[in-house]
Amino acid sequence: MIQLTDISKSYGKNVVLKSIDLTVNKGEVVVILGPSGSGKTTLLRCVNYLEKPNGGEIAIGDYRVQCKRATKKEIHELRQRSAMVFQQYNLFKHKTAIENVMEGLVVVKKMPKAEARLKSIALLEKVGLADKLDAYPSQLSGGQQQRVGIARALALEPEVILFDEPTSALDPELVGEVLAVIRKIAKEGITMIVVTHEMGFARDVANHVVFMDEGVIVEQGPPSELFHNPREERTKQFLKRITPELNYSI
């Protein structure tokens, strides 16, 4: 279970997050929606401390960190309990696909190389890249790179995987293959927090949808409710704008 309590973040006078509370149950897929600049990516990056929150508490599983006085050691512990899939993939450019997946296992989890290799091969097979083990990121398409990124995150067996707009940088025709992989692992009961603009994906895969705007959570609930019966005016506006196909008459 992931619990964020009273998380706040500001850059100078610019307040990005205003006292956010969010609970994610084990095995749940939580999708965070919202217009750009609403703080959703910042919130996600606070969970693994890539952004330092100004205050609040982060708990992953039974590990709790008070943000104000988090030590290096605590941050390191916290980061080992999560994994992240980035918008720009951020694969290690000087390592092959399999080396990218093995890296965390060998360096962070101290797994013997041979064992790490077998596990990495299995994971790359799972994301459909069994034939690309020795390819460098520069030789892979965006979709393939992102699938390696997902395999890399899975390898660490984290308590939660954080997806930061995993399909936003992809060519439209490559979005499908990445979403298909995320769907597949969602079914396996891995806890995920996903920031995305893919409404179809959110509707089908999420157990819980969070709508953020201007640094606060405006509304949250199961997707059936939030999409079809939003309570807040701001949510209605947003959904109307982002799913224009509903209004088109051809």
Q: Which residues in 147-176 contact other proteins (CB under 8 A)?
A: 152-153, 156, 162, 172-173, 175-176
Strand partners, 58: 4, 65
Which of residues 108 and 118 has its CB atom nearest to other proteins in the complex? 108
Cβ of residue 240: shortest distance to other proteins, in angstroms? 18
Cβ of residue 34: shortest distance to other proteins, in angstroms? 21
Whole-angstrom distance, CA of residue 19 vs CA of residue 17: 6
Choosing from 86, 211, 227, 238, the residue that interacts with other proteins (CB under 8 A) is 86
With tokens 């000087």, the residue in question is 94
Our finding on whether 46 is near other proteins (CB under 8 A) is: no
Choosing from 95, 126, 197, 234, the residue that interacts with other proteins (CB under 8 A) is 95
Distances (CA, A) of 200 to 146, 164, 178, 180, 244: 19, 17, 14, 12, 13
CA gyration radius, the chain: 18
Whole-angstrom distance, CA of residue 160 vs CA of residue 29: 10
Which of residues 68 and 93 has its CB atom nearest to other proteins in the complex? 93
Per the structure block, which two tokens stand in for 116? 């790490």
Whole-angstrom distance, CA of residue 190 vs CA of residue 151: 13
Our finding on whether 84 is near other proteins (CB under 8 A) is: yes
Our finding on whether 185 is near other proteins (CB under 8 A) is: no
Cβ of residue 49: shortest distance to other proteins, in angstroms? 8
Our finding on whether 180 is near other proteins (CB under 8 A) is: yes
Q: What angle, 0 to 180 degrees and rounded to 10, lies between the N-to-C axes of helices 142-155 and 97-107?
A: 20
Q: Which residues in 105-134 contact other proteins (CB under 8 A)?
A: 107-108
Instruction: State how beta strands 208-213 and 29-33 pair.
Output: parallel
Whole-angstrom distance, CA of residue 186 vs CA of residue 132: 23
Which of residues 21 and 92 has its CB atom nearest to other proteins in the complex? 92
Residues that bind other proteins (CB under 8 A): 48, 50, 76, 79-80, 82-84, 86, 88, 90-96, 103-104, 107-108, 136-139, 141, 152-153, 156, 162, 172-173, 175-177, 179-180, 183, 200, 204
